[in-house]
Amino acid sequence: MNIETSFISSRSEYNSYVRFFNKTMAASKSFSGRKKAAAVLKNLRDADGSSDGEIQTVIQAVLLDKLGYKCKSVNLPEDITVSPADGRFNSLEASDLFFTCYTSEGDMHILDPHDHNDFTPLLPLKKRTLLVIFIQTDSRHEKMMNEAYSLLYKKAAGSAGKKNQAAKKKQPEIIALPAPLPPALQPVRAAEETAAPGPAAVPANIKSSEMASVQVTNELFHNGNVEAWKRIIASYENKYPGRKVNVFYDGEKIENIMSLFQWGKVKIGTCIMFTISGPDYPDIIKLKKYLHRGASPFFESFISGNPDEDPGLFK
């Protein structure tokens, strides 16, 4: 009989969990009371001091799992230079619509499509910025989210002509979020999923992928998780020379991944960001999958065997 146990290491952590549980229950009642989701989430952040990780947990547990909201993630194809909160979303007023935006610093912003004050401080929103569209509607959710995306992009790129039309036709797919604990909302890029390995030599033209996030689902991101990430990244870079995995946390680039191992520094629900620098980004979806598992209680599968040998994760 296998019994899985977990513990909270201090009274303050226990009290923190209880407070967050109470806030989540209160938020759940507010959502059920037909309040707009963006207003409830912003109140959690501004009035109650909830972290981005806690708000993501509420989005997953209450909005997606309980209330049936749907979501779509996109990387902006062009810069957004003016606020789209100009009434263009009025046709979707019957559905509860909001956005979350992830900046290059790793911060999450909640955007009400009818509130200029949410968009203006972030302008211009740069190309490749990760934006997630959330909507609560009936079985037409796919059509409604595609319409929301088109409305968002309608004026976002100015007058780029045919380029805009081509980007518009290539609608991102609705993403299915994995279980069990709240996973990171991830960008969907078909080109990256099918990218073939590039040449072994370091190329002259280095570029960087968009920022992607991995949510920590272990109680604490401890030494075992750090070691798992270290081996996963080393295996990726060994398989694909000329590519470098860059890790970011709390707005700063992590030069030495072992610095993430400080008890209590990286807690459950928080997000670690990463990009890939190189001529292309092969196996980025697989890399994200492995990093997500490495940040979970199931990290042990990556740290068995000789630590000096490549585990050969990317074949």
Q: Which residues have CB under 8 Å from 88's CB, separation 6+?
A: 151, 154, 155
pLDDT at residue number 232: 95
pLDDT at residue number 176: 38
Which residue from 247, 248, 210, 191 is spatially nearest to 126, judged by alpha carbons?
A: 210
Residue with tokens 């199931």: 298
Which residue from 123, 20, 124, 144 is spatially nearest to 71, judged by alpha carbons?
A: 144
pLDDT at residue number 228: 92
pLDDT at residue number 111: 93
Tokens for 89, please give them.
């979303």
| Amino acid making up residue 136 | Q
Other CB atoms within 10 Å distance of the CB of residue 247: 20
C-alpha span between 133 and 111 (Å, rounded) = 10
| Amino acid making up residue 46 | D
pLDDT at residue number 205: 64
| Amino acid making up residue 58 | V
User: In which element (H, E) is residue 31 found?
Assistant: helix 11-32
Secondary structure (3-state) at 243: coil
CA angle 277, 248, 259 (to 5 degrees): 115
pLDDT at residue number 200: 43
pLDDT at residue number 257: 84
| Amino acid making up residue 229 | W
* Interval 96-120: pLDDT, tens: 899 998 766 567 899 998 888 898 8
Q: Which residues have CB under 8 Å from 308's CB, separation 6+?
A: none
Residue with tokens 């070691």: 227
pLDDT at residue number 288: 92
Give residue 143's Cα distance to chain centre. 23
pLDDT at residue number 264: 62
Left if phi > 0, otherwise alpha if psi is -120 to 50, otherwise beta: which for 161?
A: left
In the chain, the domains with their CATH numbers are: 11-169 (3.30.1340.10), 190-302 (3.90.1170)
pLDDT at residue number 153: 64
* Interval 228-271: pLDDT, tens: 999 999 999 999 999 999 998 877 788 888 888 765 678 787 88
C-alpha span between 156 and 60 (Å, rounded) = 28
Mark the ranges of the chain whose per-residue pLDDT is less than 50: 1-7, 155-203
C-alpha span between 138 and 209 (Å, rounded) = 34
In order of 46, 63, 64, 100, 296, the CA distances from 50 in angstroms are 8, 16, 19, 15, 22
CB-CB contact of 260 with 291 (8 Å): no
Tokens for 266, please give them.
């990286």
Secondary structure (3-state) at 63: helix
**What is the torsion angle, in degrees rounded to the nearest 10, for the CA atoms of residue 288, residue 289, residue 295 and residue 300?**
-130
C-alpha span between 103 and 281 (Å, rounded) = 20
In order of 144, 205, 222, 234, 259, the CA distances from 265 in angstroms are 40, 36, 9, 23, 10
Question: Any idea what DSSP says for residue 267?
Answer: B
Helices (H) and strands (E) in the chain, counts: 9, 9
